[in-house]
């Protein structure tokens, strides 16, 4: 197996996630797209770990999983707070600091 | 997509791992299809279910790469915990179960252009940098003991910081989400 096939798969998933972050209006769906991005980073880390034979990549993938869990917890709490104040999770409504 | 298929079929001058490559191709196609459905579907619950398929596919790729501990952790934490959290978020924010409310912006052309340009740049850089690099032939499963040894010796301080981060995120999520 080539290293590049995993890296290109991760790149495709990353770009799909970026598209989701840019184009979605629902806060929960934006968080899901961020999960896609973090997941593609994990694929890269594990692929390089398999390439070099060192376990550091796998350790960092574990760290990324833990950070993703924390991020989803805080992110969904923020989305819930937005929903309570605006009665919607449409991110276009949240323009209080827009100049 | 075509670059992936090209990469999967072009290792002619090496022992060809047909089974692994076919498995990779099927799982990668499933992952990309599901990821696209996550970002374009009009139903929030469907998006969560497609996200499960992407995450499970990533776990399968980790097994192909011989990282079985990461794969199990991926299934436990992502599929087991994070998706359930997403479903609770969908339930609590009363997101529409059908396409009655707009979930995407109108300027999706600009967004897709951005991501396609990014994909072209990344693809060019990857093919240029790692053109035909091969993974080691014997991708034996990594010893989980090696991973844990590494966590608890070399990366002990980051591990403790991660636990502090999780505690802070727990308290922060409660403080932000509670109604008072």
Instruction: Provide mean pLDDT across the span B143-152.
Output: 89
Of the CA atoms within 13 Å of residue A73, those in its CB half-sphere come to 19
Cα B12 to Cα A1, A19, B17, B123: the distances in Å are 11, 35, 10, 21
Question: 3-state SS of chain B: helix, strand, coil percent to 5?
Answer: 70, 0, 25
Does the pLDDT of residue B11 top 50, yes or no?
A: no
User: Which residues in B lie closer than 8 A to residue A1 (C-beta atoms)?
Assistant: 11, 17, 20-21, 24, 64, 134-135, 139
pLDDT of residue A97: 84
Interface test with B, best of A32, A37, A64 (most B CBs within 10 A): A32
Confidence of residue B4 (pLDDT cuts 50, 70, 90): low
Does the pLDDT of residue B13 top 70, yes or no?
A: no
Considering chain B, what percentage of its residues have pLDDT values greater than 90? Answer: 55
The 10s digit of each residue's pLDDT in A48-84 is 998 888 889 999 999 999 999 999 999 999 999 988 8
The pair of structure tokens assigned to B22 is 């076919």
pLDDT of residue B17: 74
Confidence of residue B97 (pLDDT cuts 50, 70, 90): low
User: Which residues in B lie closer than 8 A to residue A33 (C-beta atoms)?
Assistant: 38-39
> What region, left, alpha or beta, does residue B138 occupy, with left being phi > 0 and alpha being psi -120 to 50 degrees?
beta
Confidence of residue B113 (pLDDT cuts 50, 70, 90): very high
Q: Which chain A residue lies closest to B109 (C-alpha atoms)?
A: A23
pLDDT of residue B108: 82
Report d(CA B88, CA B82) in Å as an integer.
Answer: 10
Does the pLDDT of residue B96 top 60, yes or no?
A: no
By the 10 Å C-beta count (0-12 exposed, 13-18 middle, 19+ buried), A80 is classed as buried
Instruction: Provide mean pLDDT across the span B88-103.
Output: 72
List phi, psi (to 5°) of B95. Answer: -65, 150
Check B86 against A72: CB less than 8 A apart.
yes
Instruction: Provide mean pLDDT across the span B19-25.
Output: 89
Check A83 against B92: CB less than 8 A apart.
yes
Instruction: Provide mean pLDDT across the span B167-177.
Output: 93
Does the pLDDT of residue B156 top 80, yes or no?
A: yes
Instruction: Provide mean pLDDT across the span B20-47.
Output: 92
Check B136 against A73: CB less than 8 A apart.
no
User: What ipTM did this prediction achieve?
Assistant: 0.92
Report the first-to-last Cα separation within chain A, whole angstroms: 51
Check A25 against B4: CB less than 8 A apart.
no
pLDDT of residue B3: 53
For B37-73, b where at least 16 C-beta lie within 10 A, e where not — what string? bbbbbebbbebbebbbbbbbbbbbbbbbbbbbbbbeb
Instruction: Identify the bridge partners of residue A24 per DSSP, sorted by sequence position.
Output: B104
Confidence of residue B120 (pLDDT cuts 50, 70, 90): very high
Instruction: Provide mean pLDDT across the span B97-110.
Output: 72
Does the pLDDT of residue B9 top 60, yes or no?
A: no
The pair of structure tokens assigned to A14 is 């990353």
Q: Answer whether B85 touches A (CB < 8 Å).
A: yes
Instruction: Identify the bridge partners of residue B104 per DSSP, sorted by sequence position.
Output: A24
Long-range contacts for B134-137 (Cβ within 8 Å, ≥24 apart)?
B134/A1, B134/A2, B134/A3, B134/B11, B134/B14, B135/A1, B135/A2, B135/A3, B135/A47, B135/A50, B135/A51, B135/B65, B136/A50, B136/A51, B136/A53, B137/B14, B137/B15
């Amino acid at each position: 197996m080539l290293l590049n096939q995993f890296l290109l798969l991760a790149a495709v998933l990353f770009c799909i996630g970026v598209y989701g972050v840019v184009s979605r209006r629902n806060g929960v769906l934006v968080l899901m797209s961020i999960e896609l991005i973090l997941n593609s980073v994990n694929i890269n880390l594990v692929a390089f770990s398999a390439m070099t034979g060192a376990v550091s990549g796998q350790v960092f993938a574990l760290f990324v999983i833990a950070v993703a869990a924390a991020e989803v917890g805080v992110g969904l709490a923020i989305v819930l707070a937005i929903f309570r104040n605006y009665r919607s999770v449409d991110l276009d409504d949240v323009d209080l600091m827009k100049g | 997509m075509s670059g992936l298929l090209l990469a999967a079929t072009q290792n002619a001058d090496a022992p060809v791992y047909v089974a692994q490559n076919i498995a990779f191709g099927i799982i990668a196609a499933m992952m990309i299809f599901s990821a696209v459905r996550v970002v374009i579907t009009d139903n929030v619950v469907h998006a969560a279910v497609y996200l499960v398929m992407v995450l499970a596919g990533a776990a399968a790729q980790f097994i192909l790469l011989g990282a079985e501990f990461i794969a199990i952790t991926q299934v436990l934490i992502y599929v087991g915990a994070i998706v359930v959290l997403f479903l609770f978020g969908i339930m609590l924010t009363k997101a529409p179960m059908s396409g009655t409310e707009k979930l995407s912006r109108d300027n999706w052309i600009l967004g897709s252009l951005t991501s396609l340009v990014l994909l072209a740049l990344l693809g060019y850089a990857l093919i240029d940098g790692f053109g035909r690099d091969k993974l080691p032939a014997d991708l034996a499963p990594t010893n989980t003991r090696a991973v844990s040894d590494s966590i608890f010796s070399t990366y002990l301080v980051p591990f403790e910081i991660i636990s502090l981060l999780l505690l802070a995120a727990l308290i922060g999520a409660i403080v932000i989400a509670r109604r008072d």
